[in-house]
Structure 1
Amino acid sequence: MKPCLVSIIVPIYNVSQYISKCISSLFKQTYCDLEFIFVNDCTPDNSIEKLLNVINEFPNRKDQVRIINHEHNKGLAAARNTGLSFANGTYIYHCDSDDWMEPTAISEMVSKIVSDKAEIVYTNFYFSYANKNVLSVQQKTSNSEEFIKLMFKEEVHGAIWNKLYKKSLFIDNDINFPNGNDMWEDLYTNFYLFYFSNKISYLNSSFYHYNQENISSLGREVNSKKLTSIFSNISQIESFLKKQKDARFTTELIYLKLAAKQTLLFTCDIKNFRKWLTIYPETNPYILSYKSLPLHLRLLGFLSTKKLWTFIRLWILVKKNLKPQ
C-alpha cells in the first residue's frame, strides 16, 4: 500500500493530567506518513509544557509536529477548524487530547479507507475507566443515509474520533465545525460529512479509548450555555434539510431533538422537567418510543407530558435520598 499523508488534529485546552498519555499513543502509531497538528486554544495550565516534553521523547516525530497557538480562547469547534486550515494530509483524523489510541489505529483505518475507496471509515471504540474498558460496537452500514438516521437515534456514536475522513470531503463541500457552538459540534459536522459522502465503510475493530475519568471535560456537565449550543446546531441541520426539501430524516430528527433535551430529565430540579416540556414540544408524544433513553427517564418524560408533577416531585425526593452523603 502506498503511504498516504494523514493529518492528526488535536485541540488542547486544560488537559494537563491526560495529554502525555494521549500524545504518546499518537507518536507510537505504526503508520509513519503522519503530520501532527496541535492547536493550543490558550490553555491556562501546563499542557503545552507536557506536550513539548513528549515531543522530546520521540525525536523521530519532531519534524512531523506543528503547534498552532490561538491568540485567545476560541473554543473547541474553532480549534478543530484551525487544525483543518493547516492540514496537508490526504486524510484527516481528529483526536481529543484527554483520550488515547491503540498503535495500529491509523494504519488499519488507512488500509480500509484506501482498499474500499471510501471517503469515511468508522470503527468501534472503548469507554475507558480507571480499571476497565467497555467496548462500544457500532452498527454496520455502508449507506450514508442509514448512518445519519442511526446517528440521530443515538444508535451509532456522533463523535469524530472513531472516524477517518478524506480531506476533500471537507474542502469540496465547504464543511467546517460550527464556531462558537462547542456542544455536539462533532455530530453537527458529521451530519454534513456523511450527507455529502459517496462511500463510507465500517471497520469492525476498536482502537480509540474514550476517557471517562476526566470529569472536567466539555460534555460532562450540561448547563444553559451548552444546551443553547446543542439547540443551535440542531436548528442549523433542520434548516439545511428544509432548504434542500429533504424529508428523509423527519422521523429521526424527532429523536435527535429528544436526545438534545434529555439531560434535563437527569436532574433533581422540578424546573428542569417543566423546561423539558416546553422545548421541542412536538417531540413529547414520542418519548416512550425513544429507546435510547433508559426506561425510567422515558417514564419521567411521559409524566411531564401529563403534568403529573406530584409523581415527579416524589421521584426527585427519592433520588435525593439515595444520593451518597
Structure 2
Amino acid sequence: MESLISIIVPVFNVENYIKRCLLSIASQSYKGPIECIIVDDCGYDNSIRICTDFISNYNGEIHFSIIHHQQNKGLAAARNTGTLHSKGEYIYYIDSDDEITSNCITLLVDALEHHPNAEIIQGNIKALNDSYNISRHITIDYIEDNNPWVRKQFYNIRNIFPVNAWNKLIKREFIFQNKLFFMEGIIHEDQQWMYHVTKVLQSIAFVFEPTYIHYITPNSIMSSLSQKRSDESWLKILEDIYTNFDGPFYKEQLLKYTNYLICHYNRDLSGYKELCKSYILLLKKNRFYASYFCTILSFRLLNLTKKEKNRYRIISIFQKLFLLINRF
C-alpha cells in the first residue's frame, strides 16, 4: 500500500499566488493518497475564498481541507497546526506563494522506496538564485545512520543543506518523536528548526531533479521584513541555540553561530548585549577560540559611532578568521 502524504500549506495574504500553488498540488502524478491541509492564518485578502472556491470545483483524488486559526499566529504556528492535524506517514511543507513540479511527490516517494530508512528526502529547487541548487554541492544521493556527517556538513561555512523546511518529505514519526515543531512568534523560524533537526537526523536522501519552484514575491515575509524584526527574531533563535550546544561538534557550532551573532547584533535591543556577555563566557571555556572571538565580540560591544561601518569591518575580519581557523 502506498504511503499517505500530508502536504501542509500555510495561507496568509497570498491571493495573487495561492491558486498557482493549489493547481500544482492538484496536478501531482503520484498515484498514492495525498491530503492537502490548508491553514488559514487570518489574512485580510481573498486568499481563503480562492481556496474554498478551488476545493468546491475540484474533482480529483487529493483530499483538500481548510483549518482556520482564530487569529493571525504566523507561519511557524500555521505549520505546527497543519502538522498536528496531519494523518500522513510523511509530511511535506510548501509555501503558498510557491509551487511544486507535477512529479514532485512521485520523485520523492521513489527515492523513499530506494532508501526506506531515510527520515528526510530532500528535493532539488528551481529558483532565480542558483544557490538553492543542491546538485552544486552534493554528489551522493543517500546517507544512512551517520549523524556526524550530517552535523559536520550543516555546521560547515559552506553548508550544503537547504535550511528551508519546504521541499522536504519528512517522516511524521521523526517530527513527533523528536518534538521538531517550529518556534512561534518569530521569522527565520527555519533556521532554529533546522538546527534541531540536524542534531538528531541520521539518514537523508537527495533528489537532484527539481521538485520545487521557489519565487521571490514582493510582499512575502522574507522580502518585506524590517531589520529590527529580523534582529529580534535572531536574538530568540540564538538564545535557544546557545543553550543547546553539545559535542562532538562544539567548536563547529561556536564558529557558525558567532558569525550569525555578529551579523545580527543590534545595539538597540538590550537582549543582545546580555547575550554577548554570556557568549563570551561560553567562548572562554574553549581556549583555542577564546583569544579570537573575545576580541571580536568585545570590539562589537563597543559599537561606537559609525555603526554600519564597524559592522561590515567586523564581519570582514571574522570571515577571514573563520576561513583560516576552519582549515584545522
Name the TM-score, length of structure 1 as normaliser.
0.75
Asked if 2 retains the 8 angstrom alpha-carbon contact of 1:261 and 1:276, the reply is no
Aligned counterpart for 2:163 among listed residues 158, 164, 167: 158
Kindly report which structure 2 residues correspond to 1:161-176, keeping only aligned pairs within 5 A, or say none.
161-176=166-181
Partner of 2:94 in structure 1?
Answer: 95
| Cα pair distance change 1:25/1:240, threshold 3 Å | same
Kindly report which structure 2 residues correspond to 1:193-208, keeping only aligned pairs within 5 A, or say none.
193-208=197-212
Corresponding position: 1:191 with 2:195 = yes
After TM superposition, give the deviation of residue 260 of structure 1 in Å.
5.4
Q: Which runs of 5+ in 2 are unaligned?
A: 284-288, 313-328
Partner of 1:111 in structure 2?
Answer: 110
Deviates further, 189-198 or 64-73: 189-198
Name the TM-score, length of structure 2 as normaliser.
0.74
Take 1:184 and 1:39, find their aligned partners in 2: how far apart are those partners?
Answer: 19
SS at match of 2:260: helix
Corresponding position: 1:19 with 2:22 = no
Take 2:307 and 2:220, find their aligned partners in 1: how far apart are those partners?
Answer: 33
Take 1:221 and 1:15, find their aligned partners in 2: how far apart are those partners?
Answer: 16
Aligned counterpart for 2:149 among listed residues 146, 149, 165: 146
| Cα pair distance change 1:25/1:258, threshold 3 Å | same
Take 2:262 and 2:188, find their aligned partners in 1: how far apart are those partners?
Answer: 12
RMSD: 3.7
| Cα pair distance change 1:66/1:241, threshold 3 Å | same
Amino acid corresponding to residue 159 of structure 1 in structure 2:
N
Partner of 1:268 in structure 2?
Answer: none
4+ residue runs of structure 1 moved beyond 3 angstroms? 143-154, 275-283, 303-316
Deviates further, 146-155 or 204-213: 146-155
Kindly report which structure 2 residues correspond to 1:74-93, keeping only aligned pairs within 5 A, or say none.
74-93=73-92
Asked if 2 retains the 8 angstrom alpha-carbon contact of 1:183 and 1:219, the reply is no
Asked if 2 retains the 8 angstrom alpha-carbon contact of 1:277 and 1:304, the reply is no
Amino acid corresponding to residue 206 of structure 2 in structure 1:
Y
Q: Which runs of 5+ in 1 are unaligned?
A: 266-270, 290-300, 317-325
Amino acid corresponding to residue 123 of structure 2 in structure 1:
T
After TM superposition, give the deviation of residue 305 of structure 1 in Å.
9.1
Corresponding position: 1:262 with 2:266 = no
Asked if 2 retains the 8 angstrom alpha-carbon contact of 1:169 and 1:196, the reply is no
Q: Percent identity over the alignment? A: 26
The superposition leaves residues 187-244 of structure 1 with CA deviations (integer Å, 9 ceiling, x where unpaired) of: 22223233223311122222212211334324542432332222212322221235xx
SS at match of 1:161: coil
